Amino acid sequence: MAVAQAKQDALAARLAGLSLPQGGWSAPARAEAQARLASMGLPGKRDEYWRYTDPTTLTAAQPTPAALFDAGDETPLFDGIDRVRLVFVDGVFDPTQSDDPVAAGVEFLSAGADIHWAQGLYGVLEARGQSPVARPLAALNTAAATEGVLIHVTGRAARPINLIYLHKSESSDAILHHCVKLAPGAELTLLENGPAAARFNKVLEVEVADGARFHHIRAQGRDHERRAVTHIFARLGTGSLFKSFTLTANGVLTRNEAVLELTGDDAVAHVAGAAVGDGDFHHDDTVFVTHAAERCESRQVFKKVLKNGAVGVFQGKILVQPGAQKTDGYQISQSLLLDETSQFLAKPELEIYADDVKCSHGSTSGAIDETALYYLRSRGVPLRQAQSLLVLAFLAEAIGEIEDEAIAEDIRARLEAWLGRHGA
């Protein structure tokens, strides 16, 4: 189908604002991505997949400026975790603030070689993820990313790798593309935190080989006006495990897509998110899980706390392909609406082509439980503390997807701090 002229123009304007990388090992993948992009065009407001989230500011030629968030003297997230810190400032790696990437086995997208292991991964999972639903902003990322990490894990990584995204310029426009390849039996924890830029487009491609384990925990920055579109593309081998958790607090626009493909038997994929928004906040979780093998388990757990007109979106799908018997799929999306002006829009979907599967899904919106609030207060817990307890309780199932207790505790503390600032 021909792309409408308006979309072509928008794409041309967007590309004109970028300096596309030339040459190197990733050149063929970038060229293919650009061709995909040309055939899709950038997403528009009328696209079904963007029905609940207006992509205009994500596709515009220039980013909308975003003021910086002042966290005061707050302890940085994950500070107590022994980890490898790699810092990006407005999307540009800053070696002076970072630990030694070489010692941690981390390479960069800008690696000059003509041949690289990441050729089998860069843009490959993204391209697979373009069907049945187009994800043009991910193709744009593959074509245009200038920075990102390439991590090939062959054993059990000694320490988590922490990508820290600082936002210093109010009009920055960052595009990062990371590739993580886990060899059979390997294990890695990847931590990400920070707002990154006024506008941030990030792709993470993860190949989880047989028996490998990947843990991903991220906290998106709290700059109120920042905008972000992120994609995770993961392919899971036999008996492998993938677990991803995202905390989103603030952000005028966030679209987090996760495209997970369970291609080996007995694989486990969990993707979870806790989002808290007050006022001008629009958060969209879009998830597509494909079961293409037997006895795999997938869980989607998404919880949102919304107040003062904040908007939450969930589009989640479980696709069970023919032959993917004994699939165990679970999907829950819930919102806690703290007032009547906030809204939650959910579109849960199941598409099943195997006859011996277990799939469940649920979606709810509700207010804070007044009876529970009264009960807590009757025991002497002050109103705001009681509300915080109930909000954290609501989010508990999502946070429970984080296996490492110290990391989970950090996330909880960050949430409590947010609740303290926002009076709920």
Partner 1 sequence: MLEINNLHVKLEEDDKVILKGVNLTVEAGKVHAIMGPNGSGKSTLSYVLSGRDGYEVTDGSATLDGVELLEMEPEERAAAGLFLAFQYPVEIPGVGNMTFLRTAVNAQRKARGQEEMSAGEFLKVVREKAKALKIDAEMMKRPVNVGFSGGEKKRNEILQMAMLEPKMCILDETDSGLDVDAMKLVADGVNALRDAGRAFLVITHYQRLLDHIKPDVVHIMADGRIVKTGGPELALEVENNGYADILAEVL
Amino acid (1-letter code) at residue 242? F
**Distance of closest approach, residue 171 Cβ to partner 1, in angstroms:** 41
For partner 1, give the closer residue by CB, 182 or 336.
Answer: 336
- The answer for residues whose C-beta is within 8 angstroms of residue 374's C-beta and 6 or more apart is none
What is the tally of helices (H) and strands (E) in the chain? 8, 19
- For position 245 contacting partner 1 by CB under 8 A, the verdict is no
Nearer to partner 1, 60 or 392 (CB): 392
- Cis peptide leading into 132, omega within 30 of 0? yes
Q: Which is nearer to partner 1, 72 or 380 (CB)?
A: 380
Contacts of 131 (CB under 8 A, 6+ apart): none
Site for partner 1 in 53-112 (CB under 8 A): none
Q: Judged by CB, which is closer to partner 1: 190, or 395?
A: 395
Query: Shortest distance, CB of residue 334 to partner 1, whole angstroms?
Result: 12
> What is the rounded distance in angstroms from the CA atom of residue 66 to the CA atom of residue 87?
20
State the nearest-atom distance from the C-beta of 416 to partner 1, in Å: 12
Query: Which C-beta is closer to partner 1: that of 223 or that of 401?
Result: 401
**Shortest gap between Cβ of 384 and partner 1 (angstroms)?**
10
Tokens for 86? 């790699």
What's the rounded Cα separation, in Å, for the pair 200 and 207?
Answer: 23
How many residues touch partner 1 under the rule CB under 8 A: the total is 24
> Using CA atoms, how far apart are residues 205 and 296, in angstroms rounded to an integer?
20
User: Shortest gap between Cβ of 381 and partner 1 (angstroms)?
Assistant: 5
Residue 233 backbone dihedrals phi, psi, to 5 degrees: -115, 125
Rule CB under 8 A: which of 312-371 touch partner 1?
A: 369-371
- Residue 378 Cβ vs partner 1, minimum distance, rounded to whole Å: 5
Q: Please report how close the Cβ of residue 30 comes to partner 1 at its closest, in angstroms.
A: 46
Q: Which is nearer to partner 1, 27 or 383 (CB)?
A: 383
Quick note: the x/- pattern for partner 1 over 361-400, rule CB under 8 A, is --------xxxx-xxxxxxxxxx-xx--xx-xxxxxx---
Structure tokens at 4: 């409408």
Residue 207 CB contacts under 8 Å (≥ 6 apart), including other chains: 121, 125, 179, 180, 181, 182, 234, 235
For residue 35, give the 3-state DSSP assignment. Answer: helix
Nearer to partner 1, 5 or 378 (CB): 378
What is the C-alpha to C-alpha distance for residues 247 and 415, in angstroms, rounded to an integer? 9
Place of tokens 């060899």: 183
Q: Interface with partner 1 by CB under 8 A: which residues?
A: 369-372, 374-383, 385-386, 389-390, 392-397
